[in-house]
Each structure stands twice: as C-alpha cells, then as structure tokens.
A and B are shown apart, each in its own frame.
Chain A
C-alpha cells in the first residue's frame, strides 16, 4: 500500500496475528485502520515457525491465510517501519515512525507481541560459545528448512530458559515453552528417529486442550524421556559434545549428562515500547508487560484512555488466545470510538 491517509481511527502497532485479527474485526465495523509493522513482512513470530500445535498445521499456511485477507480487504499497512514515538494531542495521538512518517490516530492499539529472551544472558548455558547449543526458535528454522546437518544421537531440551528466574530478570512463567518443548521433542524424534530425546523440565504446564494428551503421546508413541531438573550448567567436551549438569530431582541424583544438541526453550519478555510523551500514563505490570486497566472487566484497555492492547504485548498467550483477545480489543475500541 503506497498511499496512506494522514489520520486514522485506529493505528495498530504490530502486524502479527493479534494486530491483523484486530484489523480485520475493526474493518467489519467500518473502522479505518493502519497497521505499522517493523519487520519486512506481516505475520510476526509465526513467520519463523514450522508447525503449530494443536494439529501440527503449517505456520506458513495460517499466516498466508490471514495476510491474504488483509490484502483482499485492502487494509492499510506499512512494513519495515517501526513506531518510535506516541504523543498525545487533545483527544488523539500522533504516531511517528522510524522512516519519518507521522500519523494522527483517534485510538492506538498496542499489538507489538513479545521479545524472545536472549540466552547469552545465561552465560553458564554456553549459548553463543558452543555451537551445539541452540534456541527453540533456531530449531523451528532447522525443521522448516530441512537443512543438511550432522545427526545428533542425543538431544536435550531445557525448559524455563529466561523464565521463572530472578537471575535472568524474569520471575514470570512464559506459559508456552512447555508445550513447545513437547512438540519439538516429537518433531526432532521424527526427524532423527535413532536419537534419544530428553526434556529437562521443572513443572509441565500442559494447560490447554490437547496439551496433556500431547505429553502422553510424546512418552508413549515417541519414547521421549522426561527428567525433572533444571539445567545448572552446560560445558563443552573436547569433541564438541556437551556435558549437562542437572539433578534428577525425583530420584535425587545429581547427573552429568552428555548430549550432542542442547535446545534452550527461551522465554517471552515484554516488547520494547515506543517513546511516550510525558502526559501519557501507560502502566506496566511487574513483569514489564503492558498492564490492562482491569483484568476482569476491561482487559484490552490500558491505563491510558484511547490506548488499547491485545495479544502477547500484555503477557504470554497461545495463538488462539491472541486472536480472541484481538477481536475483544476491536470491540472495546469500537465502543470507545462510538462514545467519543
């Protein structure tokens, strides 16, 4: 879309699942929206993923379906552009971007999603130092691209990397890593049938429909091993294989486990917010995600009237939770615009 208006009823910051779903819902009610996305393509984190659970559907398919709808409906969107500031002006907002655009909006919807935890902060895990230490995001890429690599004989997946960890700066649980680990353990086992795949967990958060069943499937049908113990340290042997120091807390035995690959289930952190002018009072939760005005009655309104939030910008969510949240946010915005 080359021609943009100067004023919109809603500017949506972030063109991932949440942003796009909200845009489509707002469109149905005739609201003029603009999506501003900092990456080169719409789709957000889903662009990096291989298969989604439940169903092991292709992430690409899910993204392309929704993006085609955005294009069919000719919903305004800018990519490769990042919102750098939001200023308030009377009842409205001025949104400026890194490429120099400036738009006026009656309402703003924050849908920037989350940042992935940078595992170099857990120095003792050796990410960035030892080549066989990978993140779960990198594993999605490996699975997607079917890259030709050496065959690992034993793979360890580490839950809670950068989550539930004061030393990493994040007390919160990132919610989705447990089911992602179980999913990836199955995918890795299917890719490398002779490999031993071990998930090192503390608690297994299998909270949604089908999750607990997937855990059972992993054990029964795929022989995935589960050891309850948090990774303390990863070192590299002279041959490049890795040595993990972990306690099997259920038997009480401290262990040194050798693996060929280590997969870090990196957690979700709050996304960076644009600069807000002094009059804007946007409250954050203690875990630094955007705080809803009232979690029970007004989950999509932030503490700043006219600025809304949806998707993982206010905390980790599954994809369908983000989509539902986005539609709810759209209804809140419509309500707000009507009352204005």
Chain B
C-alpha cells in the first residue's frame, strides 16, 4: 500500500480516525450528508483502509470528500472506534496540499472559504464579522439581519457589545499586538504557506477555465465557485 496512505498516516487525525472498518453502516445510517448527498462514509473508510495511491488520488479529486458536514455523529456510533469525519479531514488537507481540490466543483470552493473565514481570522481575529455578512450574499438570514447589518453600531451598542472598540466586550476590536501574534502563529505552523497554496492552485484553475481572477471576493472565479451547483450531487 502506497506512499499517499503513509503520508495520510502522518496526520494525527487520520491515525485517530482509521482503525479497521467492518462495513456495518452505522455511520452512514446516522450521517446527515448521506441523507442529502450521494455520500457514504462507510464506503470511504472501507476503501481508504486498503487503498493504493491511485485510488486515493481519485478520492482527492472527487466531489465525494467535500460532502461531509463535520458534525461528528459518525464518531459517536462506530463499533470499531473509527471516525470517518477525521479521515475526511485528512483527505481534504492532502487534496489542497497537492492541488487536486481544483478538479472538483465542491473542492474549488476552498478558495472562497480561505478568502472569507480564513482571511477573517488574520484580519479581525474572528472567523465571522458582521460587516462581511452582507444581506445580498445571505438573503436567507432574513430582514431582521438586514436591519442589524445596516444599523450595526446602534444595534450592538443597545445589546452591550463593544463593536470595533478596544477593550473587553463582544465584537471588540482585537488589538494589533494580538493580530501580529496570530499572524506569527500562522507563519510558524505553515498556515500562511497553506493559504498561498490554495490561492496558487486556484489561480491556475481560473486560468484553465478562462475566468477572471484577482484578490477580490467578486472576481469571476469567486462568483463561479460560490454559486455554481451543477446538481449532480444527489443519488
């Protein structure tokens, strides 16, 4: 069994998540992604436990590994103490590191996640920030959120938050020293490099697809990956 499987075992989550699968199906029975997508965590663990490099590369390029919602319901039930979700997380990491993620519709979305949630961590010190949750991109949030978004200062003041100000409180401005520390952490752990990897492979993919690519959230490629759903994801 090949090099890629060995590489996967270097990921502590893969080691924790993959013992031996008896193909009983309790994970898929309880998996929300299996209900709504053509997804079967049992199959993935069962394949991966004896997979050769070719099979793993196929998985890394597939839509399949991006369906998991990481609820971890599979972990609670597995009688062999496997965790399919951890196997998935290790596969997703490898797929991005090796660039295979750009070969699938769902995989390509990783750029969007990096540019929103990922960049937010370094920009604001939060994963989610009100100004970024624009109602036009989130109509499902409803008219109350629209009102909150438009009137953030007044609303958050009313509720005792400390929006964008230094000191304690909800939505406080995280001080510069702290943001520098976060950046240093991202640098030392290689996460900044990882972000760059995602950007670089995505740029190449945008070129291949003939879509405009720049830093913004609204370039052609970003618009494409965040909205395209070719509806081949159900059984």
Contacts and interface: CB of A to CB of B under 8 A. Distances in A.
Interface of A: 124, 160, 164-168, 202, 228-233, 245-249, 252-255
Interface stretch (B20-28, B145-153, B189-197): B20-28
B229 to A, nearest CB: 22
Contact of B28 (A165, A166, A247): A247
19 contacts: A164-B22, A164-B79, A166-B80, A167-B77, A167-B78, A202-B23, A202-B24, A228-B25, A230-B24, A232-B25, A232-B77, A233-B29, A233-B30, A246-B29, A247-B40, A249-B23, A252-B43, A254-B28, A254-B35
Contacts of B122: none
A228 B28 CA distance: 13
Q: Which 9 A-B pairs have the closest CB atoms?
A: A247-B25, A232-B29, A230-B24, A165-B79, A232-B26, A247-B28, A249-B25, A229-B25, A247-B29
Contacts of B35: 254
B81 interface: yes
B42 interface: yes
A326 to B, nearest CB: 33
Interface of B: 22-31, 34-35, 40, 42-43, 77-81, 235
A294 B121 CA distance: 62
A66 B210 CA distance: 85
Contact of B24 (A124, A168, A229, A233): A229
Contacts of B28: 247, 249, 252, 254
A247 B22 contact: no
Nearest to A203: B22
A310 B130 CA distance: 71
B208 to A, nearest CB: 33
Contact of A230 (B40, B79, B81): B79
B34 to A, nearest CB: 5
A122 to B, nearest CB: 10
A246 B25 contact: yes
Nearest to A201: B24
B31 A254 contact: yes
B81 A167 contact: yes
A124 B30 CA distance: 11
A233 B35 CA distance: 15
A124 B42 contact: no
